[in-house]
Amino acid sequence: MTSPHDFWPAPAAEHPVTATVSIGGSKSITNRALIIAALSSTPSTIHGALRSRDTDLMISALEAMGIEIRTGSEYSGTPNRTLEVIPRVLRGGNIECGLAGTVMRFVPPIAAIATGSVFFDGDPEARVRPMGAVLDALRELGADIDGDTLPFTVNPAGDIGGEVEIDSSASSQFVSGLLLAGMRYPKGLTLRPTGDVPSRPHIDMTVDMLRQAGVTVIEDAPEDGGAFHVQAGEVRGRTWHVEPDLSNATPFLAAAAVTRGRVTVADWPVDTVQPGDRIREILQAMGCRVLLKPRGADGSGVHDLTVEGPATLHGVTLDMGDIGELTPTVAAMAALADTPSELTGIAHLRGHETNRLEALVTEINRLGGRATELDDGIRIDPIPLHGGDWMSYADHRMATAGAIIGLRVPGVRVENIATTGKTMPDFNIRWSEMVGLPLAQDGGQP
């Protein structure tokens, strides 16, 4: 076990990394499926649901509001499980958000229809994450809320719903959280996002899952304002099958890229709205060979994705506005490339688990690198790096970025590697196994 102030010696790869890895279920899909199931009128089953801190926090939040969730079979070899969700009338309770954006932004919109007051709080880092836009939007829709950031309380209100604008420039989760709840608002919901909407694929994921569940969601064309209209009504439970988390797969694929190795990720979905799928084209642009091969002939859409690292990794110039969560992985690779990189369109990352732009610049430069923060991104001019401590800022993707750099730079120590448990339990164990190192009795380095 590790404490928040422990430093994990990131394993350096003495040879090209060669491995096949299986990735746990998508956190984004798991938590959306849990919300939709909780708002349905009949039970739902979720197969392949990720078991991690963020999904456990979502389960605990829904249980605190009266929803019954039964844990079924575990998936051998993965941090996945089957969940049965039995909806109940939502009641008041106390919600612990941790550092989970999906909990602090998806649960308040459904708390607005609870029969009692719902109190929200979270980790110290969560108290500075943007929340005002979604809380103000809920007030305009008729909700009664005390507070503008964590901690805050959502009190019982009368009829809720109708039409509202929301500044979604800080997070797509503001839009998704309201859309997920709109079907249960007596007046339905018309939502007009304003500003540049980051991480648009996550909104597409929300709309796609709502439609799979039978919810009527109509989206206006951009030239007509781009509003979303969610029709109120009953939604019956269903069976969900959760895809592997493609964003969580990216550090493992990066291991091939930076070590001239060959890494295969099993069960890569071809027809997906996950933003993590964009890593394929990014790796190709950086010089990697990317192979997507079907497994079997049953037409199931299951493929294996293999990445072969190049002799020399190249820098890239990318607008990552839709795929901001991939920035730490791409920045880590860029720091080990042979030409400069500019990653832009990601000003909203300043409001993620930490200010990821500032954190990436600070940590790359701490190891002797040359990174510069831009108005809406980061520039990285690769120069030789040296070992040292890499701080994680309680941010799972910062921790994995440090592990990637550590493959090529001996002596990197990642602070609080346990924070990866937010979405990837036992990441350090799986990473060491991939590199081919033996494990100590406690799962750390020998």
Find all residues with CB under 8 Å of 161, minimum gap 6, and list them: 141, 142, 182, 185, 186, 187, 188, 189, 232
CA 61 vs CA 50, 92, 118, 133, 379: distances in Å? 16, 11, 10, 21, 39
pLDDT at 446 over 50: no
324-365: per-residue pLDDT in tens?
A: 999 999 999 999 999 999 999 999 899 877 899 999 999 999
Which 8-state DSSP code applies to residue 20? E
Cα 92 from Cα 70, distance rounded (Å): 20
* 8 Å CB contact between 288 and 309: yes
Cα 210 from Cα 270, distance rounded (Å): 20
The packing angle between helices 200-212 and 27-39, to 10°, is 40
CA 136 vs CA 174, 181, 314, 391: distances in Å? 11, 16, 44, 34
pLDDT at 313 over 80: yes
Cα 228 from Cα 200, distance rounded (Å): 13
pLDDT at 196 over 90: no
Cα 92 from Cα 65, distance rounded (Å): 6
What does the pLDDT read at residue 429? Answer: 93
What does the pLDDT read at residue 296? Answer: 61
Mean pLDDT throughout 139-155?
96
pLDDT at 265 over 90: yes
397-428: per-residue pLDDT in tens?
A: 999 999 999 999 999 999 999 999 999 988 99
Find all residues with CB under 8 Å of 358, minimum gap 6, and list them: 350, 373
Q: What percent of the chain has pLDDT over 90?
A: 83
Q: What is the mean pLDDT of the chain?
A: 92
Is 84 one of the catalytic residues? no
The packing angle between helices 132-140 and 173-182, to 10°, is 30
* 8 Å CB contact between 89 and 116: no
Residue ranges of the binding site for 3-phosphoshikimate: 27-28, 32, 171-173, 199, 325, 352
What does the pLDDT read at residue 270? Answer: 86
CA 356 vs CA 170, 277, 353: distances in Å? 13, 21, 8
Q: Tell me, what amino acid is at 262?
A: R
Q: Tell me, what amino acid is at 317?
A: T
pLDDT at 145 over 90: yes
Tell me the backbone φ, ψ of residue 250, rounded to 5 degrees. Answer: -65, -35
* 8 Å CB contact between 109 and 39: no
The pTM of the full predicted model, rounded to 2 decimals, is 0.90
Q: What percent of the chain has pLDDT over 70?
A: 95
CA nearest neighbour of 188 among 148, 168, 216, 223: 216
Which 8-state DSSP code applies to residue 229? E
Of 325, 353, 363, 415, catalytic: 325
